[in-house]
Amino acid sequence: MKEQKKLSLLVSVQIMAIAVFLNGCLIRTYTVTKDRPDQEVSGNQGFLSGQAPENYQQPKKFTQRRYKFFEVELQSPLKIEHLKEPPKTLGENTVNTPEAVSPNMESEPLQEGFEPKTRSTIMDMQEVKTPLAPLSAKSSLPGTYIVKDGDTLQKISARPEIYGTHKQWVKIYKANKDKLKAPDRIKPGQELVIPRD
């Protein structure tokens, strides 16, 4: 009976390990040492009456305790959206950069709905205008997110376009404290401010 339990536990751990590694997650282990507040004892220290015997030694106090943490951060796979049309230029706010293009290369459709005229190689260098990002930091401006059914602050934080990790949910909660009663009380349709820093 004990061997069956050990075998089933071993198989379940192996299956979980395979699932974790195939998912491409992040695994961390670390040890934290914390002080124990329960060691400060006052009074008679267990003696109901009288004094302690002469040969009595105080028990050794363990003032610190070590905790071992095993953390697994699962990340959802990134979704790649196909372009239906080429990106548009922004006009005067551009920078000239060289593009390597060979005029004798055949063109093949890379994506459905969008076909480039030539494929890039390092043969002929031509100047192409590339949009220049404005100097004002877009990332410092707060964005918004509309809550969907089944969302939590951790799931929203883990989205690649938000923060990419579930650990930043506290930032979202602090930025929306006026709208949220508690971190687990979000409703579909709510508009949340996403701070960018």
Query: What CATH number has the domain bearing residue 166?
Result: 3.10.350.10
Domain range for 185: 138-194
User: Coil, helix or strand for 16?
Assistant: helix
**Whether 158 and 175 share a structural domain:** yes
Same domain, 142 and 175: yes
pLDDT of residue 183: 84
Asked if 152 and 188 sit in the same domain, the reply is: yes
- Do residues 142 and 182 share a domain? yes
22 within some domain = no
Name residues of the chain where pLDDT drops below 50: 100, 109, 120, 122, 124, 130, 132-141
Both 148 and 190 in one domain: the answer is yes
Residues 122 and 153 in one domain: no
Could you tell me which of 9, 31, 21 has the C-alpha nearest to residue 72?
A: 21
User: Both tokens of residue 127?
Assistant: 């100047």
The answer to whether residue 14 sits within a structural domain is no
The 10 Å Cβ neighbour count of residue 156 is 20
pLDDT value, residue 3:
85
Q: Are residues 188 and 143 in the same domain?
A: yes
Query: Which pLDDT belongs to residue 40?
Result: 64
Whether 46 is covered by a domain: the verdict is no
pLDDT at 13: 82
Q: Which of 131, 157, 182 is the last residue of a domain?
A: 131
Same domain, 107 and 143: no
pTM over 0.75: no
Determine the pLDDT at residue 138: 42
Q: Is 169 a domain residue?
A: yes
Residues 152 and 170 in one domain: yes
Inside any domain, residue 168: yes
Note whether residue 19 is domain-resident: no
Domain boundary residue, one of 82, 109, 131:
131
Same-domain check for residues 99 and 125:
yes
Do 103 and 127 lie in a common domain? yes
CA distances (Å), 69 to each of 17, 28, 29, 35, 152, in order?
Answer: 17, 8, 5, 16, 24
How far is it, in rounded angstroms, from Cα 136 to Cα 140? 9
Rounded to whole angstroms, the Cα distance separating 192 from 144 reads: 5
In a domain, 183, yes or no: yes
Q: Is residue 125 part of a domain?
A: yes
Q: Quick one: pLDDT at residue 109?
A: 47
Same domain, 142 and 168: yes
Write down which residue in 81, 105, 131 finishes a domain.
131
Q: Are 156 and 145 in contact (CB under 8 A)?
A: yes
Number of domain units in the chain: 2
